[in-house]
Amino acid sequence: MRGLRRSRLRLRRACRLELFAAFLRADLGITNDPRPDHAQYIAQYLEILQNDTRAIFQAATAASAAADYILAFSRPQQVEAAA
């Protein structure tokens, strides 16, 4: 049972990372050439999503926050004019 739980946690993290990468690629204009094994990963993510209806929202929220954090370092800082 413990191994199954760890496996599911790893899949949830991997799903968040995939979304994170997708958000970064979209923002930076980087195209993606899917690898042949992506279909296997997607099948595993779908299993998680079917068992937990909130999983996609949780993963997308975490991935979006992480992408925003990283992208903040690549954007020019806006300096407010001193009044």
**Residue extents of the structural domains in the chain:** 2-70
DSSP 77: P
CA-CA-CA-CA torsion sign (46, 11, 39, 29):
positive
CA dihedral over 45, 48, 53, 59, signed as positive or negative: negative
pLDDT band at 4 (very low <50, low <70, confident <90, very high): low
Average pLDDT over residues 11-39: 85
pLDDT score, position 63? 93
Residue range 45-79, pLDDT digits in tens: 787 778 888 888 888 999 999 999 999 988 766 55
